[in-house]
Structure 1
Amino acid sequence: MTNTEIVEETIAFVEETLQGAEGGHDWFHIQRVFRNSLLIAKDEKNINILVVSLGALLHDIADAKFNNGDETVGPKLAQQFLSSLKVDKKTIAHVIQIIENISFKSSLEKKKKKFNSLELQIIQDADRLDAIGAIGIARAFNYGGFKNRALYNPEIPPQLNMTKAAYKKSDAPTINHFYEKLLLLKDKMNTETGKKLAEERHQFMLTYLENFYQEWNGQPLLKEP
């Protein structure tokens, strides 16, 4: 099986597996991350494009938040699928490590030695790009509605510097999520391309929040002439 055939089989598998998934973590999210990963990879050298493709396509195949917090489900499912395609063991191991280390909450965990690779950095940037900007805002509120969370509560301040365990247990209003994660992502981008793409999306979120608070407090959005 050629690399192109492996990627095509993986696309079909992911699209079928994620049918009916929550709107912020469905096939279209995977598709956007996949496309952005390939876009970012164009500006990088010495990339294993098969690992980038498979890692992007399988990074959310079984997100822990939809599996009772079990972070082993996704890697196991990905390994079983790639093994069924007879993908070489080195590639599979690399993809699994990407799945295990890509999430924002993993960055909150203190490890003596963390896995890292340029392929992980590319996919991580692509995934973080989809968490910010216009689509990032839509995804945040979609998930908040899915979990029946408040839009905003002035009496519940954002919790900064959370541990991984605290982050996973949080059920705070969606606006808090901007300060606890989304606004932090711009400065966590790995690649130069990722950093450039993140800047505009970050500014869009700042403008959105400014308008949100003005509307919340009954203030006019436009100044009187």
Structure 2
Amino acid sequence: MKTLIEIVKKELNSSSHDFDHTLRVLNLALKIVEHYPEVDLEVLKVSCILHDIARVREDADPTHTIDHAELGAEMSKEILKSLGYKDDFISKVSHAIRAHRFRGKILPETIEAKILSDADKLDAIGAIGVARAFIIAGEYGERLYVEVNEDNFKEAKRINNFKEHSPNIEYLVKLRYIKDRLYTDYAKEIAEDRLRYMEEFFERLKREVRGEL
């Protein structure tokens, strides 16, 4: 595991998707797994450690064609093979990584993949989610706040024009829908509390921006 951690640390140099994020995902996964004793714990741990290994490569890709989940799954195969892991183990880990993406087309089929997916999504909401949203905004040169008609954001969609994007829009188009993409009941319980906080935060931010508070 120590070797895996060192490999991943060398790849992750983004503030929003750094190794701290990886550790938070791992900690959340270990909390969720307490309710699922049938889980292969080693598969889950390794999947968590490796899940974002290609994230920085995707973010740095000017063509926007790299899918970090897909590339990460392939990278994980090579890494684990070089470290002597068995093919069945590698297959389970690569599936979990390939299926963890919020907007990915591949759905998690194993309990390990579902827990990784849930843990990763939970780290995008709550107080941590607010903090990460503003870190990402800074990385992409987004605005602090954009006044919008919230009725125009009734379903999750993606905005690619970062100059017109902001953390409050990210909340409207993606983050508030996180709970709908979760698989485990315990993760959904955590999400309810975290989303209440986010709703209160962005409502407060809106009122402060407008000079109402």
Range into which the TM-score falls when normalised by the shorter chain: 0.7 to 0.9
User: Helix, strand or coil for the counterpart of 2:132?
Assistant: helix
Counterparts of 1:13 and 1:168 in 2: how far apart (Å)? 32
Residue type at the aligned position of 2:182: M
In structure 2, the residue matched to 1:180 is: 173
Indicate conservation of the 8 Å contact 1:105/1:168, yes or no. Answer: no
Query: Gaps spanning 5+ residues in structure 2: where?
Result: none
- Percent identity reads 28
Comparing 149-158 with 195-204, greater Cα deviation is found at: 149-158
Q: CA deviation at 1:42?
A: 1.5
Query: 1: distance between equivalents of 2:84 and 2:94?
Result: 15
Q: Counterpart in 2 of 1:22?
A: 14
Contact 1:22 1:143 in 2 (8 A): no
- The aligned residue for residue 207 of structure 2 is 214
CA distance in 2 between partners of 1:70 and 1:60 (Å)? 13
Looking at structure 2, the residues matched to 129 and 188 of structure 1 have their Cα atoms a distance apart, in angstroms, of 10
Aligned residue in 1 for 2:191: 198
Correspondences of 1:68-79 after superposition (within 5 Å) = 68-71=64-67, 72-79=70-77
Counterpart secondary structure, 2:52: coil
Per the alignment, residue 44 of structure 1 pairs with: 36
Deviation at 1:55, TM superposition (A): 0.9
Offset of 1:174 from its aligned partner?
A: 2.3
Instruction: Determine if the alignment matches structure 1 residue 57 to structure 2 residue 49.
Output: yes
Aligned partners of 1:168 and 1:27: how far apart in 2?
A: 26
Number of residue pairs matched by the alignment: 204
Moved more, 188-197 or 123-132: 188-197
Query: What secondary structure sits across from 1:218 in the alignment?
Result: coil
Query: For residues 147 and 132 of structure 1, do their structure 2 counterparts lie closer, same or farther at Cα, with a shift above 3 Å needed?
Result: same
Shift of 1:45: 2.7
Matching residue of 1:9: 3
In the alignment, what sits opposite 1:85?
Answer: 83
User: Larger Cα Rg: Structure 1 or Structure 2?
Assistant: 1
Q: Match of 1:102?
A: 100
CA distance in 2, matches of 1:197, 1:162: 20
Q: Distance in 2 between matches of 1:93 and 1:127?
A: 20
Quick one: structure 1 residues 162 and 211, their matched pair in 2 at CA, closer, same or farther if it must change by over 3 Å? closer
Whole-angstrom CA distance in 2 between matches of 1:161 and 1:209: 18
1:122: Cα distance to partner? 0.7
Further displaced range: 9-18 or 55-64: 9-18
Deviation per CA, 1:39-77: give whole Å up to 9, x if none.
111110311111101111111001133444412432222
CA 1:17 to 1:140, structure 2 compared with 1: closer, same or farther past 3 Å?
same
